[in-house]
Chain A
């Protein structure tokens, strides 16, 4: 079966005045359907850029990208928007909710662009909000919610269009340990329901239950942590996790 995401020798560089910044220096990666993948690395290692390119939010400077079997790096902007809308859900560190809209309306936003009618939108959003445990908060504004609740709304928004791929960029970075754990659990629950999940984080502890852990450094995928090495690293990084 076709991989959900395939990147081949992808580079991405930005012009910064006279110098050039190489965020990605040749990355190859595949994400299978229903896989749970973690990308770890220090800040500036290029993991967010990788996520943006995998999520069709950005284009590579060179290399080839496939999403669900479709070559995407040269697709017109409108096509990329359509792919993001239909196949991908994003969760960001800073939640990125629209402050003027209610919880319910925030969750409905992606459905507006896929042309779902109002009544059905409302129904779908209600359903997914129940699933993330915010059924009773639908009329609230984001500024009336706690950080954990905001991230739940963001996850609901990411899931409402039934995407195949959930991309989470430091989803627990703005949350305390306990709330962070709840969010991670929530993401893992949806992975269990069949969505491919990619978590990008600098904190390996958050990724310890991932099926694969990739470590990035300086714009390259340095290695895949496996077996004993993986256990070791997790233990070393998180001595107080109490596993």
Chain B
């Protein structure tokens, strides 16, 4: 067995020599595998990047969450909804759901208020978000300094505000905003808290648009209803954020929420329900289709590459028939000849694989730089690309190698 290993080491050296001796031919032979592997690697990098981005954005919404959004209807749909007597999404819906959830989770109504945020006449491009004290818990978004809105703030409709990180920087620079007063609309508000900064990526085609929550300014929802009354029902809101404590129950709770709201809205389709966890699953299944398609393309190019290698190896075996005869005559067993050519094929395909991985990595970098797509290449993906390229050598090398090993020594020696 020891001598077997020695033989194979020797075969590897001979194979390497043979590759070196025919540099151009070896390079051309590798080309198929190089491009195949490069395609696989860059595909995996793009897919990995897209997945990471989708997961990141959906996480931002919270995978335990259910979001109900008010849909502003127009034209016939609006007339239809009015006829059915729907009043749109409102705090009543929130109360109803909260009563039904009964400890299954928390709920926060959200209203976006269209009002400028100013500090001594300086305006910040902030979005005023009116909500209740549960919002921080529901969205898993915490105050970095001070506190988030309290139940008392909401109950008393206090004029207090909690600033998003970007807004605070815009208005106060590096000074602390705590306890300072800012102007929202026509009124002064006291800053009681500063939110932590969250990484938000306003990326390319993703499943959901995520607003930059670092630009939010939070005020109590009852303050908003008194200070910024709406033409529509006083309790009207734009969004309901629901957090289900147990992640496994999200998909069970979502249809119940839908049914409850549909009942109170008398069947009007003036709301939309978004379940990030489901979107995530959906995104992943879309990704799977993409992977299958790209994977098939890569598989075909690898197949073609493999056939190319096999073709060249068959030629090599024929060319070296004499050498095979000589080796057999001086005592090489069939297994040694088989190993020699198999190792040579694997060396070619695996070197092609290494070059392909580098090329694929560079392609992914290029795509990242010029198209702005995020790419991520995992070590596992790299390792499997390499393994596949080596496997191609084995699969497509076995036939030429067997042909070499089965040659009759005398016939091989006399081959011209």
Q: Is A77 a contact of B334 with CB atoms below 8 Å?
A: yes
The answer to the question of B170 belonging to the interface, with a C-beta cut-off of 8 Å to chain A, is no
How close is B7's CB to chain A, nearest CB, in angstroms? Answer: 6
Which A residues lie within 8 Å of B18 (CB)? 100
If the complex has contacts A96-B322, A96-B325, A100-B18, are A81 and B6 also in contact, measured as CB distance less than 8 A? no
Which B residues lie within 8 Å of A58 (CB)? 409-410
Which A residues lie within 8 Å of B330 (CB)? 84-85, 90, 109-110, 113, 157
Chain B stretch 1-29: residues in CB contact (< 8 A) with chain A:
2-4, 6-7, 10, 17-18, 21
Q: Is A78 a contact of B334 with CB atoms below 8 Å?
A: yes
Pick from B2, B10, B326, B331: contact of A81, CB under 8 Å: B331
How close is A107's CB to chain B, nearest CB, in angstroms? Answer: 10
Counting chain B CB atoms within 10 Å of each CB, the highest count among A84, A112, A115 belongs to A112
Chain B stretch 363-416: residues in CB contact (< 8 A) with chain A:
409-410, 413
Q: Is B3 a contact of A84 with CB atoms below 8 Å?
A: no
How close is A124's CB to chain B, nearest CB, in angstroms? Answer: 14
Which B residues lie within 8 Å of A114 (CB)? 3, 331
Q: In the complex, what distance in Å separates the CA atom of A78 from the CA atom of B328?
A: 10
If the complex has contacts A81-B331, A81-B333, A98-B323, are A117 and B6 also in contact, measured as CB distance less than 8 A? yes
The answer to the question of B125 belonging to the interface, with a C-beta cut-off of 8 Å to chain A, is no
Q: Is B21 a contact of A100 with CB atoms below 8 Å?
A: yes
Number of A-B contacts (CB under 8 A): 68
Which A residues lie within 8 Å of B304 (CB)? none
Pick from B326, B335, B336: contact of A96, CB under 8 Å: B326
Q: Is A84 a contact of B331 with CB atoms below 8 Å?
A: yes
The answer to the question of A57 belonging to the interface, with a C-beta cut-off of 8 Å to chain B, is yes
Pick from B3, B325, B328, B335: contact of A115, CB under 8 Å: B3
Count class of interface residues, chain B:
20 to 34
Chain A stretch 35-59: residues in CB contact (< 8 A) with chain B:
52, 57-58
Chain B stretch 308-350: residues in CB contact (< 8 A) with chain A:
322-323, 325-336
Which A residues lie within 8 Å of B323 (CB)? 98, 100
Q: Is A78 a contact of B413 with CB atoms below 8 Å?
A: no
Chain A stretch 49-73: residues in CB contact (< 8 A) with chain B:
52, 57-58
How close is B16's CB to chain A, nearest CB, in angstroms? Answer: 11
Pick from A86, A97, A98: contact of B331, CB under 8 Å: A86
Q: In the complex, what distance in Å separates the CA atom of A86 from the CA atom of B330?
A: 9
Pick from A78, A96, A100: contact of B329, CB under 8 Å: A96
Q: Is A57 a contact of B331 with CB atoms below 8 Å?
A: no
- Smallest CB-CB separation from B331: which chain A residue? A85
Q: In the complex, what distance in Å separates the CA atom of A44 from the CA atom of B329?
A: 21
Which A residues lie within 8 Å of B336 (CB)? 113
The answer to the question of A82 belonging to the interface, with a C-beta cut-off of 8 Å to chain B, is yes
Q: Is A82 a contact of B333 with CB atoms below 8 Å?
A: yes
Q: Is A115 a contact of B331 with CB atoms below 8 Å?
A: no
Q: Is B7 a contact of A115 with CB atoms below 8 Å?
A: yes
- Smallest CB-CB separation from A48: which chain B residue? B410
Which A residues lie within 8 Å of B322 (CB)? 96
Which B residues lie within 8 Å of A110 (CB)? 330-331
How close is B18's CB to chain A, nearest CB, in angstroms? Answer: 7
- Smallest CB-CB separation from B329: which chain A residue? A90
Which A residues lie within 8 Å of B2 (CB)? 115
Pick from A85, A86, A115: contact of B6, CB under 8 Å: A115
Q: Is B331 a contact of A113 with CB atoms below 8 Å?
A: yes
How close is A61's CB to chain B, nearest CB, in angstroms? Answer: 14
Chain A stretch 132-162: residues in CB contact (< 8 A) with chain B:
157, 161
Q: 12 A-B Cβ contacts within 8 A?
A: A57-B410, A78-B333, A84-B329, A85-B331, A86-B331, A98-B326, A100-B18, A109-B327, A110-B331, A112-B6, A113-B336, A115-B7
Given A90-B330, A96-B413, A115-B6, output 16 extra A-B contacts at Cβ < 8 Å: A57-B328, A78-B333, A78-B334, A78-B335, A82-B333, A84-B331, A85-B331, A90-B329, A100-B17, A109-B327, A110-B331, A113-B3, A113-B330, A113-B333, A113-B336, A115-B2
- State the 9 A-B residue pairs at the shortest beta-carbon distance, nearest first: A85-B331, A115-B3, A110-B330, A81-B333, A84-B331, A78-B333, A113-B331, A112-B10, A96-B326
- Which residues of A does B touch, CB under 8 Å? 52, 57-58, 77-78, 81-82, 84-86, 90, 92, 96-98, 100, 109-110, 112-115, 117, 157, 161
